[in-house]
Structure 1
Amino acid sequence: MADDAAMDFLQDLVSEVEESVSAVEPFTVNIFTAMILERLEEAGHFDETFPVYQTGHYKDRRGRNVAYRIDGYAYDEERGRLDLFTTLYSGDRDAARIPAAEVTKALERALRFASACVDGLAASLEPANTDASDLARLIEAEAERLTAVRVVLLSDGTMGNITPPVEWKGKPLKFEAYDITRLFRVLGKGETREDIAVDLVALAGRGLQCLHVPAQNDDYDAYLSVLPGKVLSQVYERYGVRLLELNVRAFLGLQGRKSVNAELRETIVKKPTMFLAYNNGIVATVDDLEVGQGAYGLEIRSLRGLQIVNGGQTTASLHRAGRKDSDLEHVSVPVKIIKVGGADLSEMVSAISRAANRQNTVQLADFSANDPFHQQVEVLANTTWLSDGKGRWFYERARGAYLAAEHKAAYRKSDETTFRQQTPKHRRLSKLDVARYLSAWSGLPDKVCLGGQKNFQYFMQRLKDEPLPPPDQPWFRRLIAIAVLYRAAEKKIRSMKFPAYGAQIAAYLVAGLSHRSGGRIDFEGIWSRQTITTEMEQLIADWAPQIDTILRESAGQKNPSEWFKKPDCWKTVRDRLPSFVDPLPQEFSYAENGTAGEMMGSGEARSVVDYERIARCMEVTGATWLEVAERGQKAGIIHYRVASICRTLAGYAVGGWEKKPTVKQAKPALEALSAVDRAGLVNLGSQLARVGEEAEA
């Protein structure tokens, strides 16, 4: 690894690991694993990864005492695929080559863990409620349904090729290595479309017959062909959303009669031979392709820089159907391949997307870093300075942007010092971070638990369905305040050393704080301090064990990590959240003044009673609030302005309380509720047992 940039990447990575060592996590191998998994997930290589360090011995079926070890895992329930991560980290700065024997040993140890799980390892793991024990139970329960197992080696060294076993307990086995060379290519300089190379002869057993349409100018060449559905699915399996880098779209799903892709699935499953006739196919661009004369004429043998610019839904639908319903043996897909010559690639892709026949009218989430929302956030990060005027946050809109900016600053010592003082690593913010923090604060911790990439998809889809006003500086300060709170919660929870599910506890705790407070907190105060108060830290410490208990009890006999991803889990937790108690931390006891006071202002400080009123309002159904407004105003019991507040709360209730009552709304609304109840105009039943208390107050 002689490349200077690659060596710089290694130095920076080792330094970052060493800087992250603390009393909470003293082991560099665990820090390296967590860091790399998070960034590979951000790069779109994996979904829902979890660092889990577990090592030990067990007696195999031959009575031998054998060692096992894993450092993390990912389980795709839909595909039935299990990924086991194992790490070889030395902390050396010379990219030492790892002997093949050591690589093989790491691979075998990870496979032994899976074998031990099938043989009942979970029963012997102590304590019984850790991430490792839950994973062991998951593997034991799902072993028969697994479609494939993949062992992934993470390392700061370099390695050569290795030939692993082809199967594990009758399941196809794959082995992937992310050594420092590949990590640099993916996370350092960033993989580009040029890294996507498709050998069609190897995949299909032959080249693809094609019709060449020569260009009338130097802008492009076109090739028309038919791609076997199985081959397209395999290519998508290998490269995933990176195939859609220039036109990334969220997969809308195949389930349900109303799904925009339901007809695709119907054709794939019931009439596979008709797919070519019914489907418009895909349009793709390539940087280069190899063509030659075959037995039946001109054929395409390989593609480089493949990008699907129209037909992402078709591609994803085929891949999913191939996993769940069909072997795709009789599915053929029409394809138009554009080899871009002198034309501007981005302009051509945009034109193709506009002109191509749209198969549905649903707006799809665009993950691209070029999305206007992300561009606006980047501008705000670059122009919004901290209260001291000396520092700011760095928004990494494009993968590797922070590293590139750091290297650019390093050309001059003074610039390097300034960059690190203004934007230290702990103030780096990625797109996945933004999606995680805002989703949790919006009451969607179940989506956060889906993992970085999937949560990001949902986040972007919500932006398309419910566009936000253009982000401004107050919005950005609010975002950073939530980020500071979320990271403080994560840090505190890590220090408490829960045996499992620290990340999930953090997501649900932050969502719980937002729900209990009505989504309002002293954002400006947190922004100004860039930290939370000791009282707030203590509140997090008090809540964390309670959230952990509620999560575990709500899971019952279900697999916890899968249960935490369900909306019903959040509903259960939301109904059992701990209550606020006096004295409130400064973050919650701040005063508000008018609409601007939604962030901070002067006036009467909030109290526990205020938050209890908000909670009581959210115990009432939307139908009841509407009934209170209509009957109370008609009978002259409540003022028309109060009736308007009740109607507003009815709308909040219908929206699942994503928007929450303000302090100024809650008090008159509850008084109105009490008044119509006393008048016998509305039968509350058991909806709000403490309404009488509010009336007396």
Structure 2
Amino acid sequence: MSELDEFHRELIADIQGEADVGGTYTTEAFFEKMGDILTEAGELDGADYAYFEGTGRRGTAIQIHGYGGDPREAQGILSLILCDFSASEEVRVFRADDLKSRFNRLVGFLRHARDDEFREQLEETSPGFMLADLIATTWSSISKIKLIVVTNAEKRAKADGLPAGSIGEKPVTYTVWDLARIEKYVRSGQTREDLLIDFEKDFGGAIPVLRASMGDAALESYIAVIRGSQLGEIYEKWGTRLLEANVRSFLQARGKVNRGIRDTLEDQPEMFFAYNNGITATADSVQIRQTESGPVVVSADNLQIVNGGQTTASIHASRRQRPKRPKARLDEVYVQMKLNVVPPETAEEVIPNISLYANSQNKVNDADLASNHPFQMRLQEFSRRILAPKGESAYQETKWFYERARGQYPDERGRRTESERKKFDLEYPRSQYFTKTDLAKFENSWAGLPHLVSQGAQKNFVAFQREVAKEWKKSDAQFDETWFKRMIAKAIIFRRLEKVVPQQPWYEGGYRANIVTYSMAKLAYDMDCRERLVDLDRIWRQQSVPEPVEAALLLAAAEAHHVITNPPEGVRNMSEWAKKQACWAQLQHRELDYPFDLRDYLLTSAEATAAVDEERKNKAVTSGIEAQSTVVSLGAGFWKGALEWGKDRRLVTPKEAGILETCTRIPDRLPSEKQCLIAIEVLEKLEADGFDASVAAAGE
């Protein structure tokens, strides 16, 4: 069986499992999974489910499964999505005719959505009507249309980011995410098999460069100058996918820096090169050709703009003329580009550092480099070490696997033998695997930000990470094991609601994700108003949601469903309504009569704080005892060798030397727990400088 066949079976099992527990159709479960992937990959800002299938004029087939949010909040881009999912045993093959048929269905819906007569025939509360109405009402704000087909078949035709003419003078491109591309992304985080930037063929000409690295340099580097019109055209085709390695999305022209970029483009294009710091980019590989005038870059594979996203997007935005403003003369604009060729095997380590050190125009905090922030590293360490209790149904302790970087989970599992995989699956059940965007959903739902969670995985995560960075700077001590366990309790609540909400008699289908986050936020908010907290520690110990807590959550969920599906006069799109602060404010003010026995699972603030203090006290005692045990077990001879090695290289302070001297007198004299903690820290420092503890232990 090939790797693709194996992935196909795993994907189908995963989708069917999600559909079964969630009470949804497999296609909807497939859409939700792919929506998260498309969002994380930078293809979309978010994905909203809005299924419609029917027949249009002249018997044309019309079908759509969802869209990428309000185009007015996505730089004028309307993204429409069609899913093609089949639980077939064999991997299906998608040929050119198959793709054409699917894209025609999307085009059919788009054309009919602008027809008043068509919309009048639809039920006003149906997702199809709401999406058609959104398209019609925002048509003047739409500057580009992206048609996206997602399928678990393997395509045999090239179709990614290709132009497909225009509709109503709006340029249209179409993109396909097939099984092979999904597999490549899930397993390794690579999405760009087709993202080859051919400057000469597609964008007006090769780019002159100067080599900026010598033969023995760590990276192949170049300095280039690219025309603004070229850069704008490249961004027009590939959009934010060029910025996936960048540390933030386009901030639009709200900040002073971005307004300055825009004004220079419009008023003084000839001065842009002098005023602007340029862009920094990376590529997997480049094609260089020597000419009479010097070397030029003909093409770049997987070009990524890691600094200069603001510049790039501002240049693209200036292609559209603003009222009462001169049109930007982008042919007169030149942008400096520093281009580094980074091999894929070192990209994860190198690119974040390039991004960190290169950014200067808009200050970048460490928090923006999400995967490498100390918070993320600590969370990963907790998830690999902390055992979850057996709970009421499990027969052994397990762990919750946190995927700090895309592809860690399948990579960890895939590199094991069959027997080792079974052991891995028992230790890290698939239901206890979660990602950065999942984490942000759990935390921001409980923090009372359901409208933000509803705006999409990426926007929500950026806001969450920004808040974590602020709190981390105040004190990282708050993000300890107790915090981790309580976060997992929120995950347990979130996952349970995802399963039980579709089973409720009031549930009419759709908006499950919105209902889940709103109901969590509502319960936490109401308890806070009563100066009470849900006992998350108890949920952690049980590894399940107690019945009274679940009943309270479902009461809140029913009210959330009512608020979301009954928007105020003049608001027709419920998905967009759920993204508004006003929607959350409306639910906040609803009075609910919670079950009487919920009080058995509530704590006062003082009780919750006392639990944290006790946990930290116990941990400190345990750490001290463990350190003392380790120091004693290593023996006096080991510590004598460590002390001499550290002194010879002047790596220990007088205080540290004194503590290690005490350790050399074991067992005649035992160091205290506090001294042992310091001795372990000194040992770690010496090992980092080259001390071989294993050799020293063997000598002992």
Identity of aligned residues (%): 28
C-alpha separation in 2, matches of 1:515 and 1:133: 33
Are 1:17 and 1:32, in contact at CA under 8 Å, matched by a contact in 2? yes
Structure-2 residue corresponding to 1:507 = 517
For 1:420, which of 422, 425, 436 is the aligned residue?
425
SS in 2 for 1:277: helix
Matched, 1:71 2:65: yes
> How far apart, CA to CA, are the structure 1 residues paired with 2:351 and 2:421?
38
Match of 1:408 in 2: 415
Task: Determine the C-alpha separation between the residues in 1 that align with 2:51 and 2:344.
Answer: 51
1:292 aligns with 289
Question: In structure 2, do the counterparts of structure 1 residues 350 and 480 end up closer, same or farther at CA, with 3 Å as the change threshold?
Answer: closer
Per the alignment, in what secondary structure is the counterpart of residue 151 of structure 1? strand
Secondary structure of 2:523's aligned partner:
helix
Rounded Cα–Cα distance in structure 2 between residues aligned with 1:109 and 1:594:
58
User: Any idea what SS the aligned residue of 1:125 has?
Assistant: coil
Please give the alpha-carbon distance, in whole angstroms, between the structure 1 residues aligned to 2:12 and 2:515: 29
AA matched with 1:403: P
Determine whether 1:480 maps to 2:488. yes
- 1:343-354 alignment runs, 5 A limit: none
Task: Report if aligned partners of 1:524, 1:600 keep a CA contact under 8 Å in 2.
Answer: no
- Would the alpha carbon gap of residues 600 and 55 (structure 1) be closer, same or farther in structure 2, given more than 3 Å must change? farther
Q: Secondary structure at the match of 1:429?
A: strand
Deviation at 1:504, TM superposition (A): 1.9
**After alignment, is 141-150 or 553-562 more displaced?**
553-562
Which of residues 2, 7, 10 is equivalent to 2:8? 10
Maintained 8 Å contact 1:44/1:241? yes
1:386-444 deviations in whole A, cap 9, x for unaligned? Answer: 112521111111212221222233x132x222222222211111100011111122222
Matches within 5 A, 1:82-97: 82-97=78-93
Question: Residue type of the partner of 1:372?
Answer: P
> Partners in 2 of 1:343 and 1:119 — Cα distance?
51
- Structure 1 segment 155-554 matched on structure 2, within 5 A: 155-161=151-157, 165-191=164-190, 196-213=195-212, 215=214, 217-236=216-235, 243=242, 248-251=246-249, 253-256=251-254, 259-294=256-291, 296-322=293-319, 328-339=330-341, 356=358, 358-361=360-363, 363=365, 365-388=367-390, 390-409=397-416, 411-413=417-419, 415-467=420-472, 469-470=476-477, 471-496=479-504, 497-518=507-528, 520-552=533-565
Q: Which structure has greater helix proportion?
A: 2
| C-alpha distance in 2 between matches for 1:85 and 1:452 | 17
- Return the offset for 1:269: 3.2
Q: Could you tell me whether the CA contact under 8 Å between 1:196 and 1:306 is conserved in 2?
A: yes
Cα distance, 1:212 vs. partner? 3.3
Q: 1:591, CA displacement in angstroms?
A: 6.3
Moved >6 Å (runs of 4+): 192-195, 341-348, 598-601
- Cα distance in 2 for partners of 1:521, 1:338 equals 51
Match of 1:567 among 570, 574, 581: 581
Q: Tell me the secondary structure at the aligned position of residue 369 of structure 1.
A: helix
Distance 1:204 1:541, change over 3 A: same
Deviations 1:641-685 (A, max 9, x none): xxxxxxxxxxxxxxxxxxxxxxxxxxxxxxxxxxxxxxxxxxxxx
Check 1:490–1:586 CA distance in 2 against 1; reply closer, same or farther (3 A cut).
farther
Give the Cα separation in 2 of the matches to 1:340 and 1:504.
40
Does the 8 Å contact 1:546/1:578 carry over to 2? no
How far residue 209 of structure 1 moved from its aligned partner, in angstroms, is 2.0
Whole-Å Cα distance in 1 between the matches of residues 29 and 115 of structure 2?
Answer: 30
| SS of corresponding position for 2:20 | coil
C-alpha change, 1:233 and 1:383, in structure 2 (3 Å) is: farther
Alpha-carbon spacing, 1:424–1:447, altered in 2? closer, same or farther (3 Å): same
The whole-number CA distance in structure 1 between the counterparts of 2:487 and 2:445 is 12
- Give distance in 1, aligned partners of 2:343 and 2:490: 47
**CA pair 423-368 structure 1, distance change in 2 beyond 3 A:** same
Matched residue of 2:68: which SS? strand
In 1, the alpha carbon distance for the partners of 2:37 and 2:600 equals: 31
Alpha-carbon offset, residue 485 of structure 1: 1.4
Q: Which moved more, 1:20-29 or 1:539-548?
A: 20-29
Structure 1 position 484, deviation (Å): 1.3
**1:42-191 alignment runs, 5 A limit:** 42-58=40-56, 60=57, 64-75=58-69, 76-78=71-73, 79-120=75-116, 121-126=118-123, 128-161=124-157, 165-191=164-190
For residues 96 and 351 of structure 1, the distance between their equivalents in structure 2, rounded to whole angstroms, comes to: 41
Comparing 34-43 and 185-194, the one that deviates more: 185-194
User: Do the aligned partners of 1:71 and 1:85 also contact (CA within 8 Å) in 2?
Assistant: yes
When residues 598 and 570 of structure 1 are mapped into structure 2, their CA distance, relative to the original with a 3 A threshold, is farther
**One-letter amino acid matched to 2:65:** D
SS in 2 for 1:82: strand
> What TM-score do you get using the length of structure 1 for normalisation?
0.77
Q: Compared with structure 1, are the counterparts of its residues 365 and 262 closer, same or farther at alpha carbon in structure 2 (3 Å cutoff)?
A: farther
Code of the residue aligned with 2:560 in structure 1: it is I
Gaps of 5+ in 2: 391-395, 615-700
RMSD of aligned alpha carbons: 3.3
| 5+ long unaligned stretches in structure 1 | 602-697
Q: Do 2:210 and 2:224's aligned partners in 1 also have CA atoms closer than 8 Å? A: yes
The Cα of 1:503 is off from its aligned counterpart by 1.9
CA distance in 2, matches of 1:26, 1:193: 31
**For 1:56 and 1:355, how far apart are their aligned partners in 2?**
53
Distance 2:345 2:236 in 1: 30
Question: Residues 292 and 255 from structure 1, CA distance in 2 versus in 1: closer, same or farther, beyond 3 angstroms?
Answer: closer
- For residues 223 and 568 of structure 1, the distance between their equivalents in structure 2, rounded to whole angstroms, comes to 50
Q: C-alpha distance in 2, partners of 1:560/1:329?
A: 43
Distance 1:444 1:426, change over 3 A: same
Query: Higher mean Cα deviation, 98-107 or 451-460?
Result: 98-107
- 1: CA distance, partners of 2:317 / 2:335: 15
Distance 1:563 1:277, change over 3 A: farther
User: Which has the larger displacement, 236-245 or 366-375?
Assistant: 236-245
Q: Measure the CA separation in 1 of the matches of 2:221 and 2:158.
A: 39
Report the Cα offset of residue 185 of structure 1.
1.8
CA-to-aligned-CA distance 1:268-327 (integer Å, 9 cap, x gap)? 333333211110112333343222244644322112343434334323443444468566
Per mean C-alpha deviation after superposition, the further-off stretch among 490-499 and 145-154 is 490-499
Distance across 2 between alignment mates of 1:323 and 1:597: 59
Name the SS for the 1:391 alignment partner: coil
**Are residues 222 and 179 of structure 1, via their aligned partners in 2, closer, same or farther at CA, if it must alter by over 3 Å?**
closer
**Is the 2:49–2:510 contact (alpha carbons within 8 Å) kept by the matching residues of 1?**
no
Alignment correspondent of 1:604: none
Q: Distance in 2 between matches of 1:86 and 1:200?
A: 31
Q: 1:580 to 1:116 in 2, by over 3 A?
A: same
C-alpha distance in structure 2 between counterparts of 1:452 and 1:109, whole Å: 27
Quote the Cα distance in structure 2 between the aligned partners of 1:106 and 1:351: 41
